[in-house]
Each structure stands twice: as C-alpha cells, then as structure tokens.
A and B are shown apart, each in its own frame.
Chain A
Amino acid sequence: MIALWIAVGVLVVLGLSATIVSQRRRPRRGAPSVTAPARAEPARAAPAGREEPKGALPEAAPEPPIAPPALRERLGRTRGLFAPLRALGGRADVAAAFEAAEEALLRADVGVETTDALLAELRRTQAHRDGAAGLLGALSEQLVAVFAENPDRALRFDNEPGVVNVWLFVGVNGVGKTTTIGKVALARRTEGRSVLLAAADTFRAAATDQLALWAERAGTEIVRGAEGGDPSSVVFDAVQRAKARGNDLVLADTAGRLHTKVNLVEELRKIRRVADREPGRVTEVLLVLDATTGQNALAQARQFTEAVGVTGVVLTKLDGTAKGGVVIPIERQLGLPVKLVGVGEGTGDLLAFDPGSFVDALVGL
C-alpha cells in the first residue's frame, strides 16, 4: 500500500518538474518591473549627519588599501603544512621532496589539478636542484607569479558626479557577507566616504537586524525591506535614497544562496540589473568565500561569475586553521583577484589582500 501512495507522490513530482522545466525553457516575455515599495522605512540608524561633501578627488583614483598588510602575523598561528618538506633539508631525495610538496599543497586545499600543474612546472625547471629549500623557494615564487597575473586588486570606485556606486556582496550561506559589509562600511566611513547600507538579505531571519547593528557601529544609514520582501526593491530604494541624500556608495548585502539554486541565482541577477540602473552603477561585485571551503569554492566562483559578473573575491575566516589555498585555482583558472581578506571578528579585521604575505603565510617562509 505504501508503495502505491509513494509512487503517486513521486510521479506527481516527476510530472511537475517536467512541466516546470519546460516552462523555464521558454523565453521570458517582458522584463520584470520593479516598483519601489512603500515599506522601506526610513533608516532607523544612527548619527549619519557627518557627510562632508568630498573635495575634488582625482579621476578614478584607486581606493587606498584598507589597512597595512598585517596578514602575515595574523596567519602565523596556523600549522606549518610545509614543515615536512623543509625538514627534508638540502640532500633530499627528489621523489620524497615532491611528495612532501604535493601533500602540503593538497592539504592547503589547492586542489589536485592545480597542484599537479604547479609541480609539473617545478619538475620541468629542475627546481629541486638545490634540495628541499630550493624547491620551496621556487614554489613560492611560482605562487606569487600566479597572483601576479591578476595585478588589479584595488576596489573600484567611479568618481563621476551623480553616480551612486554600488558594491554588491554575494556568496553562499554563512561565509560572512554581513560581517564583511559591516567592516567595509566602517573602513569607508573612516576614509570619509558617505556610505549607505542596503539590507537586501530579506530571507535569513534577523539578517537585517545584524546589519543594522553594523550600521550603528559604522555610523551609516541603512535601508531595510520587509522580511521575505523583494530584495531588488530594497536595492532600488537604497540607490534612490543615496542619490537624494548625496551618498556616493551603496553596500548591498544579499541573502546567502547556494550557487546551484537556479531561482535564487536568477533573483541575484535581477538585483544586479536593478542596482545598475541610473543613477546606480555596480562597480564591484564581491564574492565572499569562506577560507575553510574546499574545492567547492571553485564551483561557487564559476557560477556566481557567470550569473552576476564577480569582480573580486573576499576571503574570510583566514584567522583559523584553514589556509584558503583554493583561491590559487580561482586566480589561476578564473582570473578572479582576491581583493580583501577577513582575519577576525573585530571591526578592523579586514585587510587588503597582499599576495606576498599570503604566500609566505601559506608556505611558511
């Protein structure tokens, strides 16, 4: 009996999914229109009064780094993956040295493909001539060279008058988007930018409250939407409000979403489209990645880039034991630059990414 009714249920699902899939394949008629809802209440946040109009900034000046690169000290606490290789010393057996290097790279989440490619290159250049130390040195040079392929790590900002810059923060659930936005807001405020936060994560319970607390800390305004409301409308409102109040930068938080959920990724596309409407201009789409993530980060980077054109990566939680080595294949295969790294829960624990320090911390020189 049970088999019968499960069969019915399952077949209904099958039939329905077929219906839905074929509906999805049909081209959409007409772009979805966005209406500004009346529900975005005026910001309840804090002393946003000090918005000095900025003097003439140089055209398209690159953003100064958020903090001096203190990455190395912050990462020093993690265990040394390359210690076994280093311990082999100068008279190391070649096979053993390469095996130790392979093991270290794999354990750093660099991934099989990239590890193989890196090691093949090292073999070709006879990097092991000078023993383990030579191999290690050559490897870190090689890693630095990977990062050198994507030299532009400055956060993009458009100084054209009348334009509201929008930085969109995207990523899967629980990587630290909201926290990152809070830190970025604070850093920009300190620099004298007038920032507005858009709480477009209307899905996760209390996400808006979390961002509002950050807004208070950073002394910025926040535009909120109703829980479960349309996130695009929140971004739309935020851009309009920023225009009206003369804010030049909107930081938009979005709900964490798995890159495999087609409808949620579609929603993100719409957010981006709406944010890009005059006077808004999306100048950064930052993918927030958790350093503990393994090879799946590549899939995330690939699919978010395809959907909303990611312009840079924020690597969070680098203060833990994870090395975040997966950014190496991301830089190498996708050409996506890491722009910021998160190294703690404190307000200042967000640093500009510095390839040298990162590689040093990884290899442990």
Chain B
Amino acid sequence: MFDALSERLERVAGRLRSRGRISPADLDEALAEIRTALLDADVELGVARHFVEAVRERCSGEVLAKSLTPGQQVIKAVHEQLIDALGGEALRLTYASRPPTVVLLAGLQGSGKTTAAAKLGRWWKQQGRNPLLVGADLQRPAAVDQLRVLGASAQVSVFSQPGDPVTTAVAGVEEARRLGRDVCIIDTAGRLTIDDALMDEVRRISARTEPHYTFLVIDAMTGQDAVATARAFHQTLALDGVILSKLDSDARGGAALSVKEVVGAPIVFASTGEKLGDLDLFHPDRMADRILGMGDMLTLIEQAERTMDQDVVARSADKLFSGRFTLDDFLEQLHQVQKMGSLGGILRLMPGMSKEIRQAADQIDDGQVSRVEAIVRSMTPTERADPAVVDGSRRVRIARGSGTSTQEVNQLLKQFKEMQKMMRGMGPAAQGGAPGGRLGRLAAARGLGGASAEDSLAEMLAGRAPAAPRTEAPRPPAGSKGRGGRNKKKGGRVTPPKGR
C-alpha cells in the first residue's frame, strides 16, 4: 500500500537531489507531482490541496536555501506533514469505571465491521480483558453466524438475539454486565449514510447503549467518498475514532489521510490481514514511515513482544550468533515468528524493503511453511544438527519422506546455509546495539533491517545474478537520531491503564 506514493516522492526527490538549488518553479513542479500522487492515492481533493499548501509552507525559500540537500528537505517536509495529517498522537484507550466499556462499530456495507469486531475481541483478550461480542447486524443474511464463527475461533463469546437491533444491542450490554465482561463490542449492520431510517436506527442504538467508544470502520480502498461517509457518520454518532480495514491491499489508503483531516477523529486501529491477529493500533508516525517506504519496525517489535516466547528465542539467538544454529532451531524459530501473524504481513513491516521484496511478501503462503516444516521433520537428528552430512541418497529419502522433491530439499539446504552466513555477519552489529533501552534496541533492529540484509536477500532472490537491478532503497531523511527522538516523544505503545 502507499507504494506508488512513496515511489513518486522518491522520483521527485531524485530530481531535486541532483540540483544544488531549487527554484520556485522546481518546487511547483514537485508539489504538483505530490498532488497527483495524493489524488492517485485517493486522498480527498480538498485534503490534497491543503496538504500541498502545508508542504509548501514548510519548504519556504529560506529553509531550502540553507539546506545542502534541498531534495531531502522536501521529502522531510512531506514526511512531517504526513505525520501531522495522519493524526499526531495515538488515541489512548481507557476503560469505564463501571464496566463494561461499550464499543460501537458502524460503517458502510462491506467495510469489514464484523471481521473488525472479532479482531477487536481477540485484541482485547490479548490485553488481558474479558470482552463480549454483540451481534446487532440483523440485516445481512448470516451476519450473526459469521460473528459467532469468528468469535469461536477468537475464543470470545458472542451474544445476539433475533428481532430488533436496538433491543439486541441493549440486551447485549446488559448481558455483558451480568456476566461481568469488561469490554462489550457491538457489531451493527452496514448502512448507507443517506438511508435516514437506518441512520436513525444506529443513532438509537448509540443513545440506548451509551458507548464509550464509537468507531467507524472504513475500507482502506475507499475513494473520494470516504470523507462524505465519515462526515455523515460523525454527525450522527460523534465518532471517537476510525478503524481502517483491508490495509493489506495495495490500496494507498488515502482515505486514512482524508478522514482524519476532515472529521478530526484519529485512526485507532488498522487491519492488515485476514487472520484474526492481523489488527494493530494505528500509529501515525509509523504509517508515515510506511508511506515513505521506511517500514514499520516498532509494530514488529511490539508484535514480537506480545507473542514470542522470550526464553525460546533467547536460546536460539545465543546459538545463532555462536554459529551453532541448527535446523531444529530454525523450525522452532519459525513457529515463534508464525505466532506473530502471517509471514507476508511481517515482512511488509520491515523497514527499507525494496519493491521486489514487498512483492515477495505477497507471495508467501503460510501453507508453504508447512512444506518447509515437513522437509525438516523428515531429517534425522544428526542431519538437522549438521546439514552438511546430507548427501544425494539422504536427499532422496528426505524428499520422499516429506512428500516434496529433491530440488525443494536442495533449495532449503542452500537457503539455510546462506542464512547462517548472513546471520554470522549480523551478530556483532546487533549485539553492539543491544544496550541503551528502547531506542538502542530500536536502532539495532533498524540496522539489521537495513542495507546489508536487503542486499543479501536481493541477491538470493535474483539467484544467479548477484548484482540484481533493484530500486533505490528509500532512506530515512534524518537518520536514526531524529526518528528516535520522535518515538521518545510519543511515549511508546498505548498501554491501557489498569483498574480504572
């Protein structure tokens, strides 16, 4: 997503970079390019105009004149403006003093409310809460069934009853109170903003259940209409925030920008995949990084903290950097990573990834992971500990045992060797960056995701040709220092205060 936007900006920057000075005409051209890029990304027209003007202000002649790299200066201005436009601070979720905290979801048909409800249920469960899902979408055939199935796999119970949506919602909140649930998520039917009867219905649901949070679920692929929709829902319901769905598409998600700008409600969550775990708090600064092709390492770190078994990982890390990393460790590691969500989704969050790699991320099928697993499991302990002993006949046996081909076995062994080599090179760098708290860790992690890893991977992807043609990797404008400072200001992730 946002790919074309960052690519275009890169192109503009490339042109500007080659010049020592930027004339007003150059700047105009660059800004026109930015406007087109924004419109292509479905940013609402008025918002795009405003954005371009704000960037122009940030790039006043003086600032550009002083800078040695005016091109970078423009990019930096765009980046800063993106962060501002996307919402500045993240919403801090708090909980009602008298539970349950009621959360109402609304949106157009097909925006992803039901899925978002289940994902939210799972998210809160992971936060140590005890949520209840309320199915008040009695309109779409089988919507409640869908919620029940999703709820079951998220292990969150679902309440619904036939009849009137308003009474159902009220009864749901009542049920949550009776059961002592502390969060109650109400899924409502999709509705058009011009359908007065249905808008009135959702207003009544809101009035009767008095939600603490009202979220609009909006499809990241929405076009210019996003603003009209958000505005109408805001007028009816007074939105507290927005959930951006289907962000794993290649949509550039201009809707995110527009909605924030026009309604003022921050984007709270973003859904980035079909798995129930693919929902994250939305962080404007990270999103801006992502727009400019800088990856999203912080989200990755948080996902890892939440899901990985630290002991297991620490053990393999020791082994890895001491060069005793075996295929068994690889497998164990793989399972840890899989817990974080789909592999493709994780790879997308990596900073500094080139286009080829992001495309590769799209192709990762979690089913193929099991093929890899099958191959490793068909090896004897000796072979796993020392893959070098695997000769021709062993390969045939392993392929037969795992139901794969010898080519696939070869491939795996080769990649494993490459990986070992790559990691040995990484070791000292990572260890050097480890002390120094969060920022140090972040810097270390960023360094890892940087050029060397990408180069090796690009070579691996290209196979024979080591010098694969690749797009110029976008680099952060202000280095890790400026980025660290920002992260510090933001104060890390939103951890809901307990006991309120």
Interface residues in chain A, defined as those with a beta carbon under 8 Å from any beta carbon in chain B: 1-26, 29, 77-79, 103, 106-109, 111-112, 172-176, 203-207, 209-210, 212-214, 227, 258-263, 290-297, 299, 317, 319-323, 326, 345
Nearest residue in A to B193 (C-beta to C-beta)? A321
Separation in Å of the A254 CB from the closest CB of chain B?
A: 14
Choose one: B41, B110, B221, B441; the contact of A176 (CB below 8 Å): B110
Nearest residue in A to B349 (C-beta to C-beta)? A10
Assess the B448–A10 pair: CB atoms within 8 A: yes
Q: Which residues of A contact B368 (CB under 8 A)?
A: 20, 23
Known: A9-B313, A16-B343. A294 touches B222 (CB 8 A): yes
Indicate if B213 sits at the interface (CB-CB under 8 A). Answer: no
Separation in Å of the B3 CB from the closest CB of chain A?
A: 10
Q: Which residues of A contact B226 (CB under 8 A)?
A: 292, 294
Separation in Å of the A320 CB from the closest CB of chain B?
A: 4
Within 8 A of A (CB), among B298-352: 300-301, 304-305, 308, 310, 313-314, 316-317, 320-321, 330, 333-334, 336-337, 340, 343, 346-347, 350
Assess the A176–B333 pair: CB atoms within 8 A: no
Q: Which residues of A contact B343 (CB under 8 A)?
A: 13, 16-17
Known: A176-B110, A296-B42, A320-B194. A12 touches B304 (CB 8 A): no
Separation in Å of the B197 CB from the closest CB of chain A?
A: 12
* CA–CA, A108 and B39, complex, Å: 12
B24-45 vs A, CB cutoff 8 Å, 1 = contact: the mask equals 0000000000001001111011
Assess the B301–A2 pair: CB atoms within 8 A: yes
Choose one: B194, B340, B363; the contact of A21 (CB below 8 Å): B363
| The 3 residue pairs across chains A and B that have the minimum distance between CB atoms | A294-B223, A174-B110, A294-B42
Separation in Å of the B5 CB from the closest CB of chain A?
A: 11
Assess the A296–B109 pair: CB atoms within 8 A: no
Further contacts, 20 of them, CB under 8 A, given A10-B350, A106-B224, A112-B36? A2-B301, A4-B314, A13-B337, A14-B453, A16-B343, A16-B415, A17-B357, A17-B363, A19-B415, A20-B360, A21-B360, A29-B405, A107-B45, A209-B141, A290-B219, A294-B222, A296-B221, A320-B193, A320-B225, A321-B229
* CA–CA, A107 and B223, complex, Å: 9
Assess the A3–B249 pair: CB atoms within 8 A: no
Nearest residue in B to A81 (C-beta to C-beta)? B224
Known: A20-B364, A320-B194. A10 touches B449 (CB 8 A): yes
Q: Which residues of B contact A26 (CB under 8 A)?
A: 407
* CA–CA, A320 and B40, complex, Å: 22
What's the dominant secondary structure at chain B's contact region? helix
Known: A20-B368, A296-B221. A106 touches B250 (CB 8 A): no
- What is the size category of the interface that chain B forms with chain A? 35 or more
Choose one: A17, A22, A106; the contact of B364 (CB below 8 Å): A17
* CA–CA, A24 and B44, complex, Å: 39
* CA–CA, A241 and B281, complex, Å: 47
Q: Which residues of B contact A209 (CB under 8 A)?
A: 141-142, 145
Assess the B249–A7 pair: CB atoms within 8 A: no
* CA–CA, A109 and B251, complex, Å: 14
Choose one: B140, B221, B365; the contact of A263 (CB below 8 Å): B365
18 contacts between A and B (CB under 8 A): A4-B317, A13-B347, A15-B416, A18-B418, A20-B368, A21-B461, A25-B463, A172-B221, A173-B246, A203-B274, A205-B146, A210-B140, A210-B142, A213-B142, A260-B250, A262-B363, A292-B219, A294-B221
* CA–CA, A266 and B241, complex, Å: 36
Assess the A295–B320 pair: CB atoms within 8 A: no
Assess the B415–A18 pair: CB atoms within 8 A: yes
Separation in Å of the B113 CB from the closest CB of chain A?
A: 9
Assess the B225–A19 pair: CB atoms within 8 A: no
Choose one: A15, A21, A260, A261; the contact of B419 (CB below 8 Å): A15
Assess the B149–A205 pair: CB atoms within 8 A: yes
Q: Which residues of B contact A173 (CB under 8 A)?
A: 110, 112, 246
Assess the B418–A206 pair: CB atoms within 8 A: no
Nearest residue in B to A323 (C-beta to C-beta)? B225
Assess the A106–B45 pair: CB atoms within 8 A: yes
Interface residues in chain B, defined as those with a beta carbon under 8 Å from any beta carbon in chain A: 36, 39-42, 44-45, 108-112, 139-143, 145-146, 148-150, 192-194, 219, 221-226, 228-229, 232, 246, 248-252, 254-255, 274, 300-301, 304-305, 308, 310, 313-314, 316-317, 320-321, 330, 333-334, 336-337, 340, 343, 346-347, 350, 357, 360-365, 367-369, 372, 405, 407-408, 411-412, 415-416, 418-419, 422-423, 426, 430-431, 433-434, 440-442, 444-445, 448-449, 453, 457, 460-461, 463
Known: A16-B372, A77-B194, A103-B45. A5 touches B317 (CB 8 A): yes
Most buried by A among B142, B225, B337, B422: B225
Nearest residue in B to A326 (C-beta to C-beta)? B223
* CA–CA, A211 and B4, complex, Å: 37
Assess the B109–A317 pair: CB atoms within 8 A: yes
* CA–CA, A51 and B250, complex, Å: 44
Separation in Å of the B327 CB from the closest CB of chain A?
A: 11
* CA–CA, A14 and B148, complex, Å: 36
Q: Which residues of B contact A174 (CB under 8 A)?
A: 109-112, 219, 246
* CA–CA, A291 and B219, complex, Å: 12
Separation in Å of the A230 CB from the closest CB of chain B?
A: 12
Separation in Å of the A154 CB from the closest CB of chain B?
A: 27
Choose one: A18, A172, A206; the contact of B461 (CB below 8 Å): A18
Assess the A3–B367 pair: CB atoms within 8 A: no
Q: Which residues of A contact B423 (CB under 8 A)?
A: 7-8, 11
Assess the A321–B223 pair: CB atoms within 8 A: no
Q: Which residues of A contact B445 (CB under 8 A)?
A: 3, 6-7, 10
* CA–CA, A4 and B301, complex, Å: 11
Separation in Å of the B15 CB from the closest CB of chain A?
A: 19
Separation in Å of the A331 CB from the closest CB of chain B?
A: 16
Known: A12-B337, A14-B347, A17-B343. A214 touches B112 (CB 8 A): no
Assess the B42–A2 pair: CB atoms within 8 A: no
* CA–CA, A3 and B422, complex, Å: 16
Nearest residue in A to B258 (C-beta to C-beta)? A294
Known: A106-B39, A261-B362. A5 touches B313 (CB 8 A): yes
Q: Which residues of B contact A2 (CB under 8 A)?
A: 301, 304-305, 441
Q: Which residues of A contact B228 (CB under 8 A)?
A: 79, 321
Nearest residue in A to B301 (C-beta to C-beta)? A6
Choose one: B320, B367, B440; the contact of A8 (CB below 8 Å): B320
Known: A20-B365, A21-B363. A3 touches B434 (CB 8 A): yes
Q: Which residues of B contact A4 (CB under 8 A)?
A: 313-314, 317, 321, 430-431, 434
Assess the B336–A9 pair: CB atoms within 8 A: yes
Assess the A175–B313 pair: CB atoms within 8 A: no
Nearest residue in A to B436 (C-beta to C-beta)? A3
* CA–CA, A23 and B407, complex, Å: 9
Choose one: A8, A103, A292; the contact of B225 (CB below 8 Å): A292
Known: A204-B146, A294-B224. A11 touches B109 (CB 8 A): no
* CA–CA, A16 and B333, complex, Å: 11
Q: Which residues of B contact A18 (CB under 8 A)?
A: 360, 415, 418, 457, 460-461
Assess the A262–B362 pair: CB atoms within 8 A: yes
Known: A5-B310, A26-B407, A103-B45. A294 touches B316 (CB 8 A): no
Q: Which residues of B contact A1 (CB under 8 A)?
A: 314, 434
Separation in Å of the B190 CB from the closest CB of chain A?
A: 9
Assess the B363–A214 pair: CB atoms within 8 A: no
Assess the A295–B110 pair: CB atoms within 8 A: no
Assess the B411–A22 pair: CB atoms within 8 A: yes
Separation in Å of the B137 CB from the closest CB of chain A?
A: 11
Assess the A292–B108 pair: CB atoms within 8 A: yes
Assess the A12–B246 pair: CB atoms within 8 A: no
Known: A8-B320, A12-B333, A173-B112. A112 touches B221 (CB 8 A): no
Assess the A112–B39 pair: CB atoms within 8 A: yes
Q: Which residues of A contact B304 (CB under 8 A)?
A: 2, 5-6, 9
Q: Which residues of A contact B434 (CB under 8 A)?
A: 1, 3-4
